[in-house]
A and B are shown apart, each in its own frame.
Chain A
Amino acid sequence: SQTIHQWPATLVQPVGSPLSLECTVEGTSNPNLYWYRQAAGRGLQLLFYSVGIGQISSEVPQNLSASRPQDRQFILSSKKLLLSDSGFYLCAWIAGRGGSEETQYFGPGTRLLVL
Protein backbone atom coordinates (compact mmCIF):
# COMPACT_ATOMS: atom_id res chain seq x y z
CA SER A 1 0.00 0.00 0.00
CA GLN A 2 1.02 3.57 -0.48
CA THR A 3 2.32 5.69 2.36
CA ILE A 4 3.58 9.22 2.62
CA HIS A 5 6.17 10.45 5.10
CA GLN A 6 7.11 13.92 6.20
CA TRP A 7 9.91 15.06 8.44
CA PRO A 8 10.58 16.60 10.71
CA ALA A 9 7.25 16.49 12.50
CA THR A 10 7.95 19.70 14.38
CA LEU A 11 10.53 22.41 13.82
CA VAL A 12 11.37 25.64 15.61
CA GLN A 13 13.65 27.95 13.66
CA PRO A 14 14.87 31.52 14.12
CA VAL A 15 14.03 34.23 11.60
CA GLY A 16 16.57 34.31 8.81
CA SER A 17 17.61 30.70 9.11
CA PRO A 18 17.32 28.21 6.23
CA LEU A 19 14.66 25.54 5.94
CA SER A 20 14.42 22.12 4.43
CA LEU A 21 11.31 19.95 4.77
CA GLU A 22 11.17 16.55 3.19
CA CYS A 23 8.33 14.46 1.86
CA THR A 24 8.63 10.95 0.48
CA VAL A 25 6.04 8.61 -0.95
CA GLU A 26 6.22 4.83 -0.93
CA GLY A 27 4.34 2.24 -2.90
CA THR A 28 3.69 4.23 -6.04
CA SER A 29 5.61 5.60 -8.98
CA ASN A 30 5.42 8.84 -10.88
CA PRO A 31 2.95 10.51 -8.51
CA ASN A 32 1.91 14.14 -8.66
CA LEU A 33 3.17 15.78 -5.50
CA TYR A 34 1.91 18.87 -3.68
CA TRP A 35 3.00 21.18 -0.87
CA TYR A 36 0.33 23.01 1.12
CA ARG A 37 0.57 25.39 4.05
CA GLN A 38 -2.09 25.61 6.70
CA ALA A 39 -1.82 28.84 8.67
CA ALA A 40 -4.05 29.57 11.64
CA GLY A 41 -7.51 30.60 10.48
CA ARG A 42 -6.54 30.55 6.82
CA GLY A 43 -7.25 27.04 5.59
CA LEU A 44 -4.91 25.17 3.29
CA GLN A 45 -3.02 27.08 0.65
CA LEU A 46 -1.37 25.30 -2.27
CA LEU A 47 2.28 26.34 -2.50
CA PHE A 48 3.85 24.07 -5.12
CA TYR A 49 3.04 21.07 -7.22
CA SER A 50 5.15 18.72 -9.27
CA VAL A 51 4.19 16.36 -12.07
CA GLY A 52 7.63 14.78 -12.36
CA ILE A 53 11.33 14.87 -11.46
CA GLY A 54 12.68 18.39 -11.73
CA GLN A 55 9.27 19.82 -12.65
CA ILE A 56 7.97 22.38 -10.17
CA SER A 57 5.07 24.78 -10.49
CA SER A 58 4.56 27.57 -7.99
CA GLU A 59 1.10 28.73 -7.08
CA VAL A 60 2.01 31.54 -4.73
CA PRO A 61 5.11 33.77 -5.02
CA GLN A 62 7.08 33.85 -1.77
CA ASN A 63 10.46 33.16 -0.26
CA LEU A 64 9.93 29.40 -0.37
CA SER A 65 11.10 27.03 -3.11
CA ALA A 66 10.54 23.38 -3.90
CA SER A 67 12.55 20.69 -5.58
CA ARG A 68 11.94 17.14 -6.73
CA PRO A 69 15.29 15.40 -6.99
CA GLN A 70 13.78 11.92 -7.18
CA ASP A 71 10.49 10.48 -8.36
CA ARG A 72 9.07 10.02 -4.87
CA GLN A 73 10.82 12.83 -3.02
CA PHE A 74 9.59 16.39 -2.70
CA ILE A 75 11.52 19.02 -0.74
CA LEU A 76 10.38 22.42 0.49
CA SER A 77 13.14 24.93 1.17
CA SER A 78 13.88 28.47 2.15
CA LYS A 79 17.14 30.38 2.30
CA LYS A 80 15.87 32.81 4.95
CA LEU A 81 12.76 32.17 6.99
CA LEU A 82 10.28 34.90 7.83
CA LEU A 83 7.95 35.04 10.79
CA SER A 84 5.05 34.66 8.35
CA ASP A 85 6.40 31.27 7.27
CA SER A 86 5.13 29.73 10.49
CA GLY A 87 2.42 27.19 9.89
CA PHE A 88 1.58 23.58 9.27
CA TYR A 89 3.06 22.22 6.05
CA LEU A 90 1.35 19.32 4.35
CA CYS A 91 2.60 17.18 1.52
CA ALA A 92 0.09 15.36 -0.67
CA TRP A 93 0.17 13.01 -3.63
CA ILE A 94 -2.04 11.52 -6.27
CA ALA A 95 -1.28 8.57 -8.46
CA GLY A 96 -1.44 9.25 -12.14
CA ARG A 97 -1.49 12.40 -14.12
CA GLY A 98 -3.46 14.70 -11.84
CA GLY A 99 -6.80 14.26 -13.45
CA SER A 100 -9.51 16.27 -11.84
CA GLU A 101 -11.27 13.19 -10.52
CA GLU A 102 -8.34 11.91 -8.55
CA THR A 103 -8.18 12.06 -4.78
CA GLN A 104 -5.25 13.64 -2.98
CA TYR A 105 -3.74 11.79 -0.04
CA PHE A 106 -2.02 13.79 2.65
CA GLY A 107 1.00 13.23 4.83
CA PRO A 108 1.15 13.80 8.59
CA GLY A 109 2.50 17.33 8.20
CA THR A 110 5.32 19.39 9.66
CA ARG A 111 4.57 22.08 12.19
CA LEU A 112 6.97 24.99 11.72
CA LEU A 113 7.36 27.80 14.20
CA VAL A 114 9.57 30.70 13.23
CA LEU A 115 10.66 32.89 16.12
Chain B
Amino acid sequence: AQSVSQHNHHVILSEAASLELGCNYSYGGTVNLFWYVQYPGQHLQLLLKYFSGDPLVKGIKGFEAEFIKSKFSFNLRKPSVQWSDTAEYFCAVNAGYGGSQGNLIFGKGTKLSVKP
Protein backbone atom coordinates (compact mmCIF):
# COMPACT_ATOMS: atom_id res chain seq x y z
CA ALA B 1 0.00 0.00 0.00
CA GLN B 2 1.07 3.52 -0.64
CA SER B 3 2.28 5.58 2.27
CA VAL B 4 3.77 8.99 2.90
CA SER B 5 6.28 9.73 5.66
CA GLN B 6 7.04 13.15 7.04
CA HIS B 7 10.09 12.95 9.20
CA ASN B 8 9.53 15.84 11.56
CA HIS B 9 6.48 16.23 13.75
CA HIS B 10 7.33 19.72 14.96
CA VAL B 11 9.98 22.11 13.70
CA ILE B 12 10.85 25.33 15.52
CA LEU B 13 12.87 27.99 13.71
CA SER B 14 13.76 31.61 14.13
CA GLU B 15 12.83 34.12 11.46
CA ALA B 16 15.24 34.20 8.50
CA ALA B 17 16.36 30.62 9.12
CA SER B 18 16.25 28.20 6.22
CA LEU B 19 13.63 25.48 6.14
CA GLU B 20 13.60 21.97 4.79
CA LEU B 21 10.76 19.57 5.57
CA GLY B 22 11.24 15.99 4.56
CA CYS B 23 8.72 13.86 2.71
CA ASN B 24 9.17 10.33 1.45
CA TYR B 25 6.61 8.15 -0.24
CA SER B 26 6.36 4.49 -1.02
CA TYR B 27 5.05 3.70 -4.47
CA GLY B 28 6.98 2.34 -7.39
CA GLY B 29 4.98 3.82 -10.22
CA THR B 30 4.26 7.28 -11.53
CA VAL B 31 3.13 9.66 -8.82
CA ASN B 32 1.84 13.16 -8.48
CA LEU B 33 3.06 15.01 -5.42
CA PHE B 34 1.60 17.83 -3.40
CA TRP B 35 2.36 20.01 -0.42
CA TYR B 36 -0.59 21.49 1.41
CA VAL B 37 -0.46 24.04 4.20
CA GLN B 38 -2.92 24.80 6.97
CA TYR B 39 -2.44 28.17 8.64
CA PRO B 40 -4.00 28.59 12.08
CA GLY B 41 -7.76 28.92 11.74
CA GLN B 42 -7.73 28.59 7.96
CA HIS B 43 -8.59 25.99 5.33
CA LEU B 44 -6.11 23.45 4.12
CA GLN B 45 -4.73 24.93 0.91
CA LEU B 46 -2.38 23.90 -1.85
CA LEU B 47 1.19 25.17 -1.56
CA LEU B 48 2.67 23.51 -4.63
CA LYS B 49 2.43 20.40 -6.77
CA TYR B 50 4.51 18.26 -9.08
CA PHE B 51 3.07 16.30 -11.99
CA SER B 52 5.88 16.07 -14.52
CA GLY B 53 8.74 18.05 -16.04
CA ASP B 54 11.21 20.07 -14.01
CA PRO B 55 11.63 18.27 -10.69
CA LEU B 56 12.19 21.57 -8.91
CA VAL B 57 8.78 23.07 -8.33
CA LYS B 58 8.12 26.58 -7.13
CA GLY B 59 5.01 27.37 -5.14
CA ILE B 60 3.43 30.30 -3.40
CA LYS B 61 5.09 32.45 -0.76
CA GLY B 62 8.64 31.56 -1.77
CA PHE B 63 8.34 27.83 -1.16
CA GLU B 64 9.84 25.24 -3.45
CA ALA B 65 10.11 21.47 -3.48
CA GLU B 66 12.37 19.05 -5.29
CA PHE B 67 11.22 15.68 -6.56
CA ILE B 68 14.04 13.13 -6.40
CA LYS B 69 12.68 9.97 -7.95
CA SER B 70 15.61 7.78 -6.92
CA LYS B 71 15.06 8.72 -3.29
CA PHE B 72 11.25 8.68 -3.42
CA SER B 73 11.41 12.12 -1.88
CA PHE B 74 9.67 15.46 -2.29
CA ASN B 75 11.20 17.77 0.30
CA LEU B 76 9.84 21.25 0.88
CA ARG B 77 12.26 24.17 1.20
CA LYS B 78 12.29 27.88 1.86
CA PRO B 79 15.51 29.89 2.10
CA SER B 80 14.28 32.32 4.75
CA VAL B 81 11.17 31.72 6.84
CA GLN B 82 8.90 34.37 8.27
CA TRP B 83 6.70 34.37 11.35
CA SER B 84 3.69 34.16 9.00
CA ASP B 85 4.90 30.74 7.80
CA THR B 86 3.84 29.26 11.12
CA ALA B 87 1.43 26.52 10.07
CA GLU B 88 1.05 22.79 9.62
CA TYR B 89 2.44 21.35 6.39
CA PHE B 90 1.21 18.17 4.75
CA CYS B 91 2.84 16.18 2.01
CA ALA B 92 0.50 14.14 -0.20
CA VAL B 93 0.78 11.65 -3.03
CA ASN B 94 -1.64 10.62 -5.72
CA ALA B 95 -0.76 7.53 -7.67
CA GLY B 96 -3.48 8.28 -10.18
CA TYR B 97 -4.52 4.75 -10.93
CA GLY B 98 -7.85 3.22 -11.74
CA GLY B 99 -10.88 4.28 -9.81
CA SER B 100 -8.85 6.02 -7.16
CA GLN B 101 -7.64 8.76 -9.44
CA GLY B 102 -7.73 11.99 -7.51
CA ASN B 103 -7.46 10.28 -4.12
CA LEU B 104 -4.66 11.64 -2.02
CA ILE B 105 -2.54 9.82 0.53
CA PHE B 106 -1.35 12.28 3.16
CA GLY B 107 1.56 12.29 5.53
CA LYS B 108 0.98 12.96 9.21
CA GLY B 109 1.97 16.58 8.87
CA THR B 110 4.73 18.77 10.25
CA LYS B 111 3.99 21.71 12.50
CA LEU B 112 6.26 24.65 11.83
CA SER B 113 6.62 27.29 14.50
CA VAL B 114 8.61 30.39 13.55
CA LYS B 115 9.80 32.58 16.38
CA PRO B 116 9.88 36.32 15.68
Contact = CB atoms under 8 A, between A and B. Distances in A.
Interface of A: 32, 34, 36, 41-46, 49, 57, 59, 90, 92, 94, 97-109
A43 B90 contact: yes
Given A43-B90, A99-B96, A104 B109 contact: no
Contacts of B71: none
Interface in B70-109: 90, 92, 94-97, 99, 101-109
A34 to B, nearest CB: 7
Contacts of B45: 105-106
Interface centre among A32, A99, A104, A107 (most CB of B within 10 A): A104
Contact of B96 (A36, A41, A42, A100): A100
A34 B94 CA distance: 14
Interface in B29-50: 32, 34, 36, 43-46, 49
Range class of the B interface residue count? 20 to 34
5 tightest Cβ-Cβ pairs between the two chains A and B: A100-B96, A98-B102, A43-B108, A44-B106, A106-B44
A19 B88 CA distance: 28
B44 A101 contact: no
B69 interface: no
Contact of A99 (B102, B105, B106): B102
Nearest to B51: A101
A3 to B, nearest CB: 10
A95 to B, nearest CB: 10
Given A44-B109, A49-B102, 12 more contacts: A32-B102, A42-B108, A44-B92, A98-B101, A98-B103, A99-B101, A100-B94, A100-B95, A101-B96, A106-B36, A108-B43, A109-B43
Interface string B1-22: 0001010010000000000000
Contact of B32 (A32, A101, A106, A108): A101
Nearest to A90: B44
